[in-house]
Chain A
Amino acid sequence: MILNEGRVIVELMVNHESRTVTVRPSDVLLDVLRGQLGLTGAKPGCKNGDCGVCTVIFDGWPVKSCLVLAVEAVGHQILTVEGLGGVAPVQKAFVDSGAFQCGYCTSGFLMVCHALSLNKPRAEEYEIEEWLQSNLCRCTSYKEIREALKTVFQSLS
């Protein structure tokens, strides 16, 4: 096998499946998920950690996949919006509350909300705000996203 430009073959655990990808040391997880695995739910919005549209869940915690090197993800559990399978309570809640318009920020918000509902099923209002401040939405007023999250929390309690 020929390795050039420092490319290496690594195994990533994505959505509970083991996937083999070829990465440069400088490749960020976002680009590898999108470019090599076709998981385009996570999106680029700034590639600078400022907008959150690239958010995935990393060992249970939401992270910005534009700020994670693909090689750093080796040995960790990555969950993307595709891995929610349409059955996570946040997904239905987002649909019911109209928590998106253009939908571009939605995967990112879903991942933050999903991780929050798993980590802190009794999150207080200030914690919800703290968690969700990592992400931006240009279309909605945020009221709808809050409402969606509220219904998820209600179903948990």
Chain B
Amino acid sequence: MGTAAGRSVKRKEAWDKATGNAKYTDDLPSLGHLTARLLTSPHAHAKIKNINKVAAFGVKGVKAVITGLDITALCGVLLQDRPHLAKDVVRYAGEPVAIVVAADEPAAISAAGLIEVEYEPLAHVLTPRAALKPGAPLLHDNPERYKRMVEDIYPQPKSNIASQYRIRKGHADTGFALSHMIVEENFYLPPSDHLAMEVRAARAEISADGMVTITTASQSPYSVIKQLSQSFSVPEGNIRVKVPFVGGGFGGKAPVLLEHLAYIASSKVGGRPVRLVITREQDMAAAPCRMGLEASVKLGCDDTGRLKAAELRFWLDCGAYADIGPYMAKSLASNCTGPYRVDNLYCDSLCVYTNHTYATSYRGFSHAEFTFCIERTMDELAKRLNIDPLKFRLINAVSPGDSSPTQVSLNPSNLGDLKACLKKLKPLSGWNGAVVPVDEHTVRAKGVSCLWKSADLPANAISGAMITFNPDGSLNLNTGVVEMGSGSKTQLAQILADKLDVDINQIHVKMSVDTRVNPEHHKTVASMTGYMAGNAVLRAAEDILAQLKTTGAEALGCSSDDIIVKGGAVYSLRNPLNKIRLKDIASGYKAPDGSSIGEPALGRGGFMLKGLSTLDPKTGKGQTAPAWTVGAQAVEVEYDTIEHTYRIISASTVIDVGMVMNPEAMRQIIRGGMAMGISMASREAYSYDQNGLLTTPTLRTYKLMHIGQEPDYRVEFVETPQEGSPYGIRSMSEHGIIGIPAALANALSNASGFSLNTLPLTPESLWKKSGGVSS
């Protein structure tokens, strides 16, 4: 083992990004490409009566105008419920209705504006609970008839239910009967956006022999192959997907959308290369967003403050199409209690269609949302019991020996140490539970939240790594991981450098992904790169070490057991002075007598998830992930009791990361997650007018946090290793966001005295809560 693990290492691609050299999808040369543009629906729910393309064809340079009538296939990663282009009916405002392919962008834009679509508006529904009422408009006539791509999805006939999951553990009724105090709270969280700074983009071309090349800003290049093949009956081997740098994903670039449309566009112009560009407005309204959530949470505890029972109902707003929504509902159910011991549990988690833009994975995969509901209720319970909220969490913190909602028994390896996180959070955040007056109408208050997350992936998800040498003895690391900002490829390089004991600068990383070259990595999602690809890299490193040892043994005339590979050289432990440099042995060894020994060293390693299952449909029993990550967070606000404005003073996170592989980079990633949480919780929401049209589809109306509004960020780690994970590391790259909205709402609830159960927490919403009159 070397010294590369546990050190702050700069991103491998740092200079590319600091010089403008890093290429993102639409930065690639587009000479010879036609340009495609989308026309989207201006209605939330409407019949398409007629589409007239004549005027559009009148624009010079227009090559094709494609509508839903031209394509029969449906798509969807879990449930095939989504047409590539709306056919007969549009189900959300922003839904793609037509594609124009033209010689250049101005022609495509003008032609798209000239397509005449005749709509007949239908009644629409915008919240999940309203969508479940009798008589609510149905988005899909027979959802249960759609083709299911996985076994554990349960669309319900004659309803807007795309899927449902339930957890039954112990006896909730008995638990409540034993409870000394019970609270019940209701929640509404609107959808919002990932808002990666790079707008989604994709290109496609089809060669004369049927080979398809897709270039895309995607977190899931290997899913693009599978889904494209599924939709259009192209053999998987004929599809090649290339992904250069990705300008932020946050889950939003995991689904396959533009890739399909670019393929369709190219297929209608004889396979010519087509570049599909969309506007920011389309990226927000047409492409999938973050889920909305309605929930009711009932918790009961005894007089010592121990939770006795929970009854939880979640209605996840997945918008017009299922996409990955059902699995978010499942993931939410699997961890529904938050990191607390609750022996008697009843939870229903429904994934419900509405006429919103459809939802997809978003940093935290539903965890920031249900955590908000649980943690707000925990605070209300603590308040009524008159227990300090942090202490209340310590009393109930899940521990080894407890079991998860899905009845997985928990141990230090698969759980980590939440109590240690909470104990560290206290001094880090300066927690004292008090509301401190600053002046006549300003107070300071803190809020706390715990978090846990397990990374739910398909039971057989795979990853791979390949290693080659350069003539100078440096190495190339090749994986199918997408670099979209989390720095995971640098972490993989650290693992390799450490394992081979070479300088980190001797590891070169292939940044872009090309599915013809890179071994499959399931998807760059769920913060699982370190675990899955890390294990693959470890195995590839072992593989290449074994080869170096074999060649070394022959070259040095000793047993391969005696061979040491260290510091860029190979030697026998019996004669450490006789070193062969890596560069002289990596491509086979040339002996002093001129004879050739061994062969070039090529490392390969594969990894597959094992031991996971689906959830029992009746009780939810089952194991969907190898392990959890736990943490605790706090936010401090300064709140103006008259104006209802506030400033966020500090935000703290303590998280059990298993092992601190790259301290500085990990702090940056956690801080980034916290920043996203603060921005989301304090100002971000999709607002819809009464016609169901998105009123905030631009960065002028949809505000993000900018510089000058950020609090003092504080991050610390706890290290409880996860067995079977490289160096014991745990998933952590999404997690900074998870407890922040809850901690902010708890802080503001403490400061204002209101019970704040909706997002975003704007001064206006606080003012309304105050009764709409200044105090």
Bound pair (A, B): yes
Interface of A toward B, CB cutoff 8 Å: 24, 26, 34-35, 38-48, 50-51, 53, 80-82, 84-86, 91-92, 94-96, 98, 100-107, 110, 129, 132-133, 135-146
User: Given A138-B196, A146-B707, are A103 and B19 also a contact pair (CB < 8 Å)?
Assistant: no
Pairwise interchain contact A53-B486, C-beta atoms closer than 8 A:
no
- Complex CA–CA separation, A45 to B195 (angstroms): 10
Pairwise interchain contact A44-B26, C-beta atoms closer than 8 A:
yes
Chain B hits for A133, CB < 8 A: 706-708
Any chain A CB within 8 A of the CB of B13?
A: yes
Chain A hits for B197, CB < 8 A: 43, 45, 51, 53, 102, 104-105, 136-139
Pairwise interchain contact B18-A40, C-beta atoms closer than 8 A:
no
- Complex CA–CA separation, A100 to B199 (angstroms): 17
Pairwise interchain contact A107-B20, C-beta atoms closer than 8 A:
yes
Residue of B nearest to A136 (CB): B704
CB distance from A59 to the nearest CB of B (A): 20
**Residue-wise interface mask of B (1-38) relative to A, using a CB-CB cutoff of 8 A (1 in contact, 0 not):** 00000000011011111111111101101100000000
Q: 12 A-B pairs, CB-CB below 8 angstroms?
A: A24-B106, A39-B20, A40-B20, A48-B699, A102-B198, A102-B246, A102-B249, A104-B247, A136-B704, A138-B196, A138-B704, A140-B671
- Complex CA–CA separation, A48 to B700 (angstroms): 8
Pairwise interchain contact B10-A101, C-beta atoms closer than 8 A:
no
Pairwise interchain contact A47-B20, C-beta atoms closer than 8 A:
no
CB distance from A4 to the nearest CB of B (A): 10
CB distance from B81 to the nearest CB of A (A): 30
Chain B hits for A26, CB < 8 A: 106
- Complex CA–CA separation, A85 to B486 (angstroms): 26
CB distance from A125 to the nearest CB of B (A): 9
- Complex CA–CA separation, A142 to B648 (angstroms): 14
Chain A hits for B24, CB < 8 A: 40, 43, 104
Binds A, one of B138-146, B545-553, B662-670: B662-670
Chain A hits for B11, CB < 8 A: 98
CB distance from B281 to the nearest CB of A (A): 9
Pairwise interchain contact B18-A106, C-beta atoms closer than 8 A:
yes
Any chain A CB within 8 A of the CB of B191?
A: no
- Complex CA–CA separation, A95 to B30 (angstroms): 29
Pairwise interchain contact A103-B485, C-beta atoms closer than 8 A:
yes
Pairwise interchain contact A41-B10, C-beta atoms closer than 8 A:
no
Which of chain B's residues 241-269 have a Cβ closer than 8 Å to chain A? 245-250
CB distance from A50 to the nearest CB of B (A): 4
Chain A hits for B17, CB < 8 A: 100, 103, 106
CB distance from B21 to the nearest CB of A (A): 8
- Complex CA–CA separation, A106 to B705 (angstroms): 17
- Complex CA–CA separation, A129 to B707 (angstroms): 6
Chain B hits for A85, CB < 8 A: 19
CB-based A-B contact count at 8 angstroms: 153
User: Given A45-B199, A101-B486, A138-B195, are A40 and B10 also a contact pair (CB < 8 Å)?
Assistant: no
Pairwise interchain contact A84-B698, C-beta atoms closer than 8 A:
no
- Pick the residue among A42, A80, A101, A110 that contacts B669 (CB under 8 A): A101
Chain A hits for B699, CB < 8 A: 45-46, 48, 50-51, 136
- Complex CA–CA separation, A24 to B280 (angstroms): 23
Any chain A CB within 8 A of the CB of B409?
A: no
- Pick the residue among B23, B279, B668, B676 that contacts A138 (CB under 8 A): B676
- Complex CA–CA separation, A133 to B704 (angstroms): 11
User: Given A43-B247, A50-B699, are A98 and B668 also a contact pair (CB < 8 Å)?
Assistant: yes
Residue of B nearest to A24 (CB): B106
Residue of B nearest to A102 (CB): B485
Interface centre among B10, B22, B23, B713 (most CB of A within 10 A): B22
- Complex CA–CA separation, A144 to B21 (angstroms): 21
Any chain A CB within 8 A of the CB of B286?
A: no
Residue of A nearest to B675 (CB): A141
Any chain A CB within 8 A of the CB of B598?
A: no
Chain B hits for A140, CB < 8 A: 668, 671-672, 675
- Complex CA–CA separation, A104 to B573 (angstroms): 49
Pairwise interchain contact B672-A141, C-beta atoms closer than 8 A:
yes
Q: List 10 additional contacts besides A43-B247, A46-B280, A129-B708; criterion CB under 8 Å.
A: A41-B21, A81-B20, A96-B10, A102-B198, A102-B248, A102-B249, A104-B248, A136-B704, A139-B672, A140-B675
Pairwise interchain contact B698-A46, C-beta atoms closer than 8 A:
yes
**Residue-wise interface mask of B (186-203) relative to A, using a CB-CB cutoff of 8 A (1 in contact, 0 not):** 000000000111110000
Any chain A CB within 8 A of the CB of B155?
A: no
Chain B hits for A91, CB < 8 A: 18-19
Interface centre among A38, A82, A102, A105 (most CB of B within 10 A): A102
Which of chain B's residues 85-104 have a Cβ closer than 8 Å to chain A? none
Residue of B nearest to A105 (CB): B197
Chain A hits for B486, CB < 8 A: 101
B contact patch SS: loop
**Residue-wise interface mask of B (578-589) relative to A, using a CB-CB cutoff of 8 A (1 in contact, 0 not):** 000000000000
CB distance from A56 to the nearest CB of B (A): 11
- Complex CA–CA separation, A130 to B704 (angstroms): 16
User: Given A98-B664, A102-B485, A133-B708, are A50 and B27 also a contact pair (CB < 8 Å)?
Assistant: no
- Pick the residue among B14, B245, B704 that contacts A95 (CB under 8 A): B14
Chain A hits for B669, CB < 8 A: 101
- Complex CA–CA separation, A137 to B668 (angstroms): 13
Pairwise interchain contact B671-A86, C-beta atoms closer than 8 A:
no
- Complex CA–CA separation, A43 to B671 (angstroms): 25
Pairwise interchain contact B665-A98, C-beta atoms closer than 8 A:
yes
Any chain A CB within 8 A of the CB of B368?
A: no
- Complex CA–CA separation, A110 to B17 (angstroms): 10
The 9 closest A-B pairs by CB, nearest first: A41-B20, A104-B247, A103-B17, A102-B485, A101-B485, A81-B20, A50-B699, A141-B671, A40-B27
Any chain A CB within 8 A of the CB of B465?
A: no
- Pick the residue among A48, A102, A136, A138 that contacts B698 (CB under 8 A): A48
Any chain A CB within 8 A of the CB of B674?
A: yes
Pairwise interchain contact B198-A45, C-beta atoms closer than 8 A:
yes
Pairwise interchain contact A132-B707, C-beta atoms closer than 8 A:
yes
Pairwise interchain contact B19-A102, C-beta atoms closer than 8 A:
no
Pairwise interchain contact B198-A80, C-beta atoms closer than 8 A:
no
Any chain A CB within 8 A of the CB of B710?
A: yes
User: Given A136-B704, A139-B672, A140-B675, are A38 and B15 also a contact pair (CB < 8 Å)?
Assistant: no
Pairwise interchain contact B706-A104, C-beta atoms closer than 8 A:
no
- Complex CA–CA separation, A107 to B198 (angstroms): 13
- Complex CA–CA separation, A81 to B197 (angstroms): 17
Which of chain B's residues 690-727 have a Cβ closer than 8 Å to chain A? 698-700, 704-708, 710, 713
Any chain A CB within 8 A of the CB of B484?
A: yes
Any chain A CB within 8 A of the CB of B271?
A: no
Pairwise interchain contact B676-A43, C-beta atoms closer than 8 A:
no
CB distance from B678 to the nearest CB of A (A): 9
**Residue-wise interface mask of B (293-323) relative to A, using a CB-CB cutoff of 8 A (1 in contact, 0 not):** 0000000000000000000000000000000
- Complex CA–CA separation, A99 to B247 (angstroms): 14
CB distance from B682 to the nearest CB of A (A): 14
Pairwise interchain contact B713-A143, C-beta atoms closer than 8 A:
yes
Interface centre among B10, B19, B245, B280 (most CB of A within 10 A): B19
**Residue-wise interface mask of B (314-353) relative to A, using a CB-CB cutoff of 8 A (1 in contact, 0 not):** 0000000000000000000000000000000000000000
CB distance from B96 to the nearest CB of A (A): 19
CB distance from A65 to the nearest CB of B (A): 13
Residue of B nearest to A95 (CB): B14
Pairwise interchain contact A98-B10, C-beta atoms closer than 8 A:
yes
CB distance from B524 to the nearest CB of A (A): 12
Chain A hits for B279, CB < 8 A: 47
Any chain A CB within 8 A of the CB of B741?
A: no
Pairwise interchain contact B672-A101, C-beta atoms closer than 8 A:
yes
- Complex CA–CA separation, A26 to B674 (angstroms): 41
User: Given A46-B698, A129-B708, A136-B699, are A82 and B20 also a contact pair (CB < 8 Å)?
Assistant: yes
Chain A hits for B27, CB < 8 A: 34, 40, 43
Chain B hits for A82, CB < 8 A: 19-20
- Complex CA–CA separation, A92 to B10 (angstroms): 12
- Complex CA–CA separation, A140 to B707 (angstroms): 10
Pairwise interchain contact B199-A44, C-beta atoms closer than 8 A:
yes
Residue of A nearest to B22 (CB): A103
Any chain A CB within 8 A of the CB of B739?
A: no
